[in-house]
Structure 1
Amino acid sequence: MKCTPPRPHTGLAALLACAVCLAAAAQSPVELNNAGTDAYNRGDFPRAIALLEKALAQAEDSPVVRRNLCNAYQSQANDLAKANDFKNAVRHAESAINVDPSNASPLVQAGSYYLRLDDVNTAIARLEAAITVKPGDLDAHELLGQAYYRDNDLSSARAQWDYVLGMDPKRPGLAERYEKAFREESVESDFGNWNSRHFRVSYPPDIPPVVRTRVMTILDRAYVDIGRSLGGVFPPPPIQVILYNAQQFSDATQLGEHVGAVYDGKIRTPLTDPAGNWLSEEEIQRRLTHEYVHVVVRNISGDKAPWWLNEGLAESLSKALDTDAHRRLREMYQNGQNRSLGELEPPGVNRMAPEPLSRAYLQAHATVDLLWTRYGRGKIISLLQYLSSGTPPEEAFRMVYRKSYAAVEREVAGMYQ
């Protein structure tokens, strides 16, 4: 389960000014501005940027050239964001901020991109600045609430969202997020916090220090091991982790007992079973590692990885298929209970009962194991990178593996039938 990231900000001026009132002797900036405007209106934003940068170099005090160049930077950033290239998108948004610092629009745009890059602290700084420049901007307040929520500052998140809902009660999906934050805050209000270099861990007061230390050791090890396994990817801190007992986990997430942990933008896991017994260190490690894999996959591919790949990687990198798992896989394939990879996607998997869902996890695990061992981790990393660009899952799979979903489904089935 993963939380939904915010949409890119696209509130750009519809048209650019077509002329600049400059002294008659300074014709070059006028010509450059007008040529840049023409390029902008054709949708050639890189060309517009190049021309308008030259115009600004000769007419630094022109507010029209500055606003035109700001809009060109923002439009190019928006195109890059649509292609899921948020690193370059945020670079152009920052350029827009630098050239027109009194404009709130690029600050909001940059804040949304930093959230997509999981750089929560910088997102907060940009969005707070946007509200200083333009108090009451609902997009800025909503995104700042999301940034505070990602930073686990639930009361500040609710304050931002409360304001937005007061102004626009029908804001899509916001009332549900507000209620979720309220529910979590009611459970976590007396939780303590413990920071490491990469993680910020919140925990209830009755968790012994030795257990907290063990959790931090597991997380720090996962940060290194999973990051290396998936091509040297190390998400920016702080990565939020919330620890619960079983009842608190149920109250905060409203998930069934068959769900052992979840990543919804934060790693959430109980440390006890429903009877109140502490989980074994091995089980805690499995759950935390599983959810941390989701953090890294999201960092590589955004929310574009198909369910079977996301969960298959999390299973494969957090535990090995044991004898019992191989037995269950043989039974599943021999009884025709396996599914096509295309079926292992929401909303179908979200509606599965616990037993069919358990089989889906097994099938995903076996599929990723085969891809990893037979074709190498490099192809899986390439697949995640293709997915990050917005390529549809099976098309990306064909590009990397030169075969269809059906072909690899037959390969996996052949191992267990």
Structure 2
Amino acid sequence: MTGWRGASSAAGTKRRARSPGFPRTSAAPIRRSRWCWRGRRGCDGSPVTGRTAIALLALAGAAGAASPAAVLHLKSGGAVAVSSYWIEGDTVFYEGPGGVVGLPRSEVARIDDDAPGPPPGRRSPAAPRPEARPSPPDRGSQDRWSDEELEQAIARLEEERRRAGIAEQRRRIDEGLANLHVLLARRHAERGELDAAEDEYERALGLLPRHRVARVELGWLELRAGRSRRAEAVVETGLAADPDDPWLLELRGEILYRANRLEDALEDLRAALRKRPGDAGLRARLEKVRRDLSAERGYRRTLSRHFEVRYDGDRDDAAGELLVEVLEDAWDELTRELEVYPTEPITVILYTSRQFHETTGTGREVAGLYDGKIRLPAGGIERVTPAVRRVARHELVHALLRAKAAGPLPRWLHEGLAQLLEPRDPDTVRPALARAASEGRLDLEPFSYPASLSFVAFLDSRYSRTRLLWLVERLARGQPEDDAFLGAFGAGREELVDEWRRWLPERS
């Protein structure tokens, strides 16, 4: 690929010459300021450290967000969107906040010219479903910066902010600071430190109240923590300033959906999709709400101390009352067993068997589901059988674990605890485990219900419920499984799995 090399003239314009490796850019005047740095030294001659570079890149992310003409891809994994750039010797220069910023050419992997939009780290945030969350600025570099480096970069920019005398400079610095606070917030969130993450997002919004990434991610964080009222306040504040923002509309649609205001949720999700017609995830969520609304149209709502139960009032008055009684009876026991005490009601929806499988898209082998709401194919029942009671308790355990552990938990742990507290006797799965052992496949992966029940029962009986809940909390904070096992039990996962295999014959 053919590129350009330039040097500044006395008049302050770019003079370009051929140089391999980088594409062409148009001429633009150069403005010098305290922010520029050449090679490894700043404009004042001081060395440029890693944390200074982080601060500069955070500012550059804010500066380059509007109509970038090129993207500088760094070898560290980061990316900077710029409106123009040029090369002098071993340095790539571009227009940054308040002046010119320079990067050592050796740190630039490639440059994409005439970029159609922002680089990956600066894309508009997508709705944070479990598999897709909003990306803060320069996410590629985020994983390579320690918390200490981010905090030092924040301190450096705060010092520069105090020195800045021009309003425009302070505005650019505020953008960079807000971006760094978002990066630090995401670090905390990934470790399950939700309160610390909330503080960092609030700091970002204190600097820039219209920082879209900070507001959207904070709203989803509050939902993840089960604080729906806070999430609603975050999104309504954002929509007051920008009522057509599709990311905030999607977030409010999710809040309304979880509050069972399905028609209002549908309206917001439709408005968001009109702005983002190519978003497949948003379209799928909209279709999910449509299915729920179709199945639940005309449903009656019953409120108890801890539950909101929705059912067909013409058919399921008796079933609704029976399920409320079962769930309330289980509440005190299961909250005590799991040491969790949710403050917001849990939604329970009763369907006929056909409605349940059509709405949830599950197979006939599925007897219940928790996906943020407990869904049971118990419509029309006239009495509570032991099987119905077990399924209701099983799904309630999933709901309580979600309230206790905002972060993701392994499926074997979720299902193992849910089965144990149905309660289901671990001895009933011994034949299935014996077959698995004889075939050399007695393990936690691939997932199986018998293995998950047996392993969780082993941890619960051999060690204690307290240590098992320590494991839940450590995993929810984002600790790797082996580290979480070591912290909770004093032994690694594989060591305990081997001990479980030896323990099983003792149970025979």
In the superposition, the TM-score normalised over structure 1's length comes to 0.76
- What does residue 445 of structure 2 align with? 342
Are 1:168 and 2:276 matched, yes or no? yes
In structure 2, relative to structure 1, the CA distance for the partners of 1:103 and 1:220 (3 Å cut) is same
1:268 is displaced (CA, Å) by 0.4
For 1:361-396, what per-residue CA distance to the aligned partner results, in whole angstroms no more than 9, with x for missing partners? 222212211211111012211111221122333553
What residue identity is the alignment partner of 1:261?
G
Are 1:240 and 2:344 matched, yes or no? no
Are 1:384 and 2:472 matched, yes or no? yes
In structure 2, relative to structure 1, the CA distance for the partners of 1:327 and 1:13 (3 Å cut) is closer
- What does residue 89 of structure 1 align with? 197
2:505 maps to which of 407, 414, 417 = 414
- What does residue 328 of structure 2 align with? 220
| Counterpart-to-counterpart distance in 2, 1:161 and 1:219 | 32
User: 1:268 aligns to what SS in structure 2?
Assistant: strand
In structure 2, relative to structure 1, the CA distance for the partners of 1:377 and 1:166 (3 Å cut) is same
More strand per residue = 2
Answer yes or no: is the 8 Å Cα contact 2:482–2:492 preserved in 1: no
For 1:17-55, what per-residue CA distance to the aligned partner results, in whole angstroms no more than 9, with x for missing partners? xxxxxxxxxxxxxxxxxxxxxx99984337736984997
User: 2:349 aligns to what SS in structure 1?
Assistant: strand
In structure 2, relative to structure 1, the CA distance for the partners of 1:283 and 1:185 (3 Å cut) is same
**Any unmatched runs of 5+ in structure 1?**
15-38, 345-359
1:288 is displaced (CA, Å) by 1.7
In structure 2, relative to structure 1, the CA distance for the partners of 1:278 and 1:5 (3 Å cut) is farther
For 1:119-157, what per-residue CA distance to the aligned partner results, in whole angstroms no more than 9, with x for missing partners? 223212311221221233222222222222222222222
| Counterpart-to-counterpart distance in 2, 1:41 and 1:304 | 22
2:263 maps to which of 155, 174, 190 = 155
| Counterpart-to-counterpart distance in 1, 2:159 and 2:342 | 33
- State which drifts further: 405-414 or 46-55: 46-55
What residue identity is the alignment partner of 1:187?
A
| Counterpart-to-counterpart distance in 2, 1:53 and 1:122 | 32
Q: How does 1:368-383 map to 2 (within 5 A)?
A: 368-383=456-471
For 1:106-131, what per-residue CA distance to the aligned partner results, in whole angstroms no more than 9, with x for missing partners? 33232111111122232123112212
**Any unmatched runs of 5+ in structure 2?**
1-127, 140-144
Are 1:80 and 2:171 matched, yes or no? no
1:322 is displaced (CA, Å) by 7.4
In the superposition, the TM-score normalised over structure 2's length comes to 0.63
- What does residue 34 of structure 1 align with? none
- What does residue 369 of structure 2 align with? 262
1:173 is displaced (CA, Å) by 1.8
| Counterpart-to-counterpart distance in 2, 1:284 and 1:53 | 63
| Fraction of identical pairs, as percent | 27
| Counterpart-to-counterpart distance in 1, 2:458 and 2:430 | 16
- What does residue 317 of structure 1 align with? 421
In structure 2, relative to structure 1, the CA distance for the partners of 1:317 and 1:41 (3 Å cut) is closer
1:48 maps to which of 140, 145, 154 = 154
User: 1:200 aligns to what SS in structure 2?
Assistant: strand
Answer yes or no: is the 8 Å Cα contact 2:357–2:363 preserved in 1: yes
- What does residue 297 of structure 1 align with? 401
1:298 is displaced (CA, Å) by 2.4
More helix per residue = 1
In structure 2, relative to structure 1, the CA distance for the partners of 1:285 and 1:55 (3 Å cut) is farther
In structure 2, relative to structure 1, the CA distance for the partners of 1:47 and 1:387 (3 Å cut) is same
In structure 2, relative to structure 1, the CA distance for the partners of 1:51 and 1:300 (3 Å cut) is farther
Aligned-residue CA RMSD (Å): 3.5
Are 1:280 and 2:393 matched, yes or no? no
* Structure index of larger Rg: 2
- What does residue 355 of structure 1 align with? none
